[in-house]
Amino acid sequence: VTRESPLPSAVLGAGGYIGQHFVRLLADHPLFGPPRLVAGPKSAGKTLADVWQLEEPPPAELAETRLVRLSPAGLARSGVRVAFGAIPSGTAGPLETECRRRGLAVFSNAADHRMDRDVPLLVPEANGVVLERLRARGSDRGLLVTNPNCTTAGLVLALKPVWELLGPKTVHVASYQALSGAGFPGVPSLSIADNVVPFIREEEEKVEREARRILRPDPGSGAADLVTPFVVHCARVSVREGHLEAVTVEAGARPRQQALADAWRSFDPLADRYLPTAPHPPISLRAEEDRPQPLRDRWAGSPTRARGMAVTIGRVRWTPPYLRFFALVHNAVRGGAGGSVLNAELAESYGLLDGARREVGS
């Protein structure tokens, strides 16, 4: 097995909304082999085409593949080395722990392990250095890495380039979150058509604690989480995909507006690594008076493999001490499956999947 041979992979929860985005991204991935499709109770035995719900058709080479039920032991026995998790929180936690125990590298979307001190909560451009620390510690066979909830992923990416310049005292966020954030089949139509629902269970709490963890200073050092208050409101709106966030930063410093724009535009900390799903640049800064919009900006990001991975920022107003802007994130791509795939690519680039690779060769 050469360094270039793709690692055998699986998608846990392949029949769900995030699971299908994983399948789309992994079908022809250069580092990870076409995934085994692992189902929950409802979609087991069906083909991928039977359960497919995304706008674009399922990858042709996997469309007729049947989803199967597989335990962590079964996954390990069947040679899978990298598992991408798209299972509801609660069910996911113990399953992911068991996969790691059996030597798999797990990249999870679920909330269960995000705040565990020994599990990275990762957005590569914001705190990728935590994986360097993990490598320095020398990892055992298994690995578990999480990505934050979808709203947090967009928020931290928008804030990271300007964080040091602003020295925030408080961050206020109000989100307008898409229906697909609730997975399949999602919010009942009669509750949301012609409506906005100002409540998403646990979401505000997640954004507050996860953002503070990811944006802590010197994340590779094991430093404590930020104490900066995040004041968050989350609402569900009748949009299919793409979470819009209105952000207000109360700043402790007074940078020039041009310095903020330069910081966003020049931000590309992953430019030197081979990470196929990384967007370059990761931030798209728009000058129009009416952007970003979910319908027009959710697929921002290039190259093609990184569509939906860039965060779009617009309506920037700097009236010290308040910086105000809107940010838009594709909840299922940067905020979900794409974020996890990028985490796995970063882990591979740090050599954290070498153990898994050796086992494939043995």
Ligand X SMILES: NC(=O)c1ccc[n+]([C@@H]2O[C@H](COP(=O)([O-])OP(=O)(O)OC[C@H]3O[C@@H](n4cnc5c(N)ncnc54)[C@H](OP(=O)(O)O)[C@@H]3O)[C@@H](O)[C@H]2O)c1
Nearer to ligand X, 40 or 120 (CB): 40
Question: By CB under 6 A, is residue 331 in contact with ligand X?
Answer: yes
Instruction: Using the minimum distance from each CB to ligand X, give the nearer residue, 66 or 256.
Output: 66
Q: What is the Cα–Cα distance from 201 to 101, expressed in whole angstroms?
A: 31
Give the rounded distance of the alpha carbon of 124 from its chain centre: 10
Contact assessment for residue 353 and residue 84, using Cβ atoms and an 8 Å cutoff = no
Residues between 177 and 216 with contacts to ligand X, criterion CB under 6 A: 180-181, 183-184
| Stretch in the footprint of ligand X (CB under 6 A) among 35-43, 158-166, 196-204, 285-293 | 35-43
Phi, psi of 117 (to 5 degrees): -65, -25
Q: Is 97 in the site for ligand X (CB under 6 A)?
A: no
243 counts as catalytic: yes
Under rule CB under 6 A, residue 38 binds ligand X:
yes
Q: How far is the CB of 271 from ligand X (least distance, A)?
A: 26
Site for ligand X contains 110 (CB under 6 A): yes
Scored b (16 or more CB within 10 A) or e, 162-172 reads: bbebbebeebb
- Choose which of 13, 33, 120, 255 interacts with ligand X (CB under 6 A): 13
Q: Is there binding between residue 293 and ligand X (CB under 6 A)?
A: no
Q: What residues contact 20, with CB distance under 8 A and at least 6 apart?
A: 14, 51, 52, 53, 54, 58
Q: What is the DSSP letter of 306?
A: G
> For this structure, is 29 an active site residue?
no
Quickly list DSSP for 92-134: HHHHHHHHHHTT-EEEE-SSTTTT-TTS-B--HHHHTHHHHHH
Give the nearer residue to ligand X in terms of CB position, either 285 or 332.
Answer: 332
Question: Which residue out of 21, 99, 113, 150 is catalytically annotated?
Answer: 150
> Rounded to whole angstroms, how far apart are CA atoms 214 and 146?
11
Instruction: Give me the residue whose beta carbon is nearest to ligand X.
Output: 16
Report the catalytic residues: 150, 243
Residues contributing to the site for ligand X (CB under 6 A): 12-13, 15-19, 38-44, 86-89, 91-92, 109-110, 149-150, 180-181, 183-184, 331-332, 335-336
